[in-house]
Amino acid sequence: MKFFVDTADVAAIKELNDLGMVDGVTTNPSLILKSGRDIIEVTKEICDMVEGPVSAEVVAEKAEDMIREGTKLAAIAPNIAIKVPLTWDGLKACRHFSDAGHMVNVTLCFSAAQAILAAKAGATFISPFIGRLDDIHLDGVDLIADIREIYDNYGYETQILAASIRSVNHIIEVGKIGTDVITAPPSVIKSMINHPLTDKGLAQFNEDWAKTGQKIG
């Protein structure tokens, strides 16, 4: 399972990247707002640090405007994946950039039907938003299973990038289904390490070790 970090917080990306845990990064306009940084500057800084794909999102609505914006974003670094929304204009821009040899991440996917269209438009990544489906009492994990089955049936090469991940359980469930990639906030990735029995076991070992009166090194 590839790990993308869903943030434009450079320090948070660096912390996980130094551990070799970052296979890529996803950003969106809300995350750029949260960073308080200029989109071009912060995206360049991330691209210089991370070897894998770094998604940077267009904000225009018309395909020709998306193509203009995406061309500017793609010029930041060779590892940019241009992120376009799942609209007909977004799919036109996807086809344009895919034909030109760029990576494209088609975002805001909420149905298997949309995911089929993105694959046919040449998307490198499809981003189904599972947390936002859960928010409206639908099952986001089921959507990942549906897309996995359909993509495998037809050999689509578009990678499933499970997005809008809110919990460790989301990561485990989409991993069991066989998502290609997950993108999650650094806080969720870091919380994967938590287990009360690890804490309890460590406390016991420390207590017993103190009783031995020994030192290592």
Contacts of 164 (CB under 8 A, 6+ apart): 129, 130, 131, 132, 133, 140
Q: Find the shortest distance in angstroms from Cβ 217 to ligand E4P.
A: 44
Is position 26 an interface residue for ligand E4P (rule: CB under 6 A)?
yes
Is position 164 an interface residue for ligand E4P (rule: CB under 6 A)?
yes
Q: Please, are residues 24 and 125 in contact by the beta-carbon 8 Å criterion?
A: no
62 belongs to the catalytic site: no
- Of residues 88 through 127, those in contact with ligand E4P by CB under 6 A are 107, 127
Q: Find the shortest distance in angstroms from Cβ 163 to ligand E4P.
A: 4
Nearest CA to 9 out of 186, 182, 168 is that of 186
Torsion of the alpha carbons at 35, 115, 103 and 40, rounded to the nearest 10: -20
Residue 92 to residue 163: CA distance in whole angstroms: 22
C-beta of 44 vs 132, nearer to ligand E4P: 132
Among 3, 97, 110, 129, binds ligand E4P (CB under 6 A): 129
C-beta of 17 vs 183, nearer to ligand E4P: 183
- Binding footprint of ligand E4P, residue count (CB under 6 A): 11
Residue 152 to residue 49: CA distance in whole angstroms: 33
C-beta of 34 vs 200, nearer to ligand E4P: 34
* Residue positions annotated with a catalytic role: 83
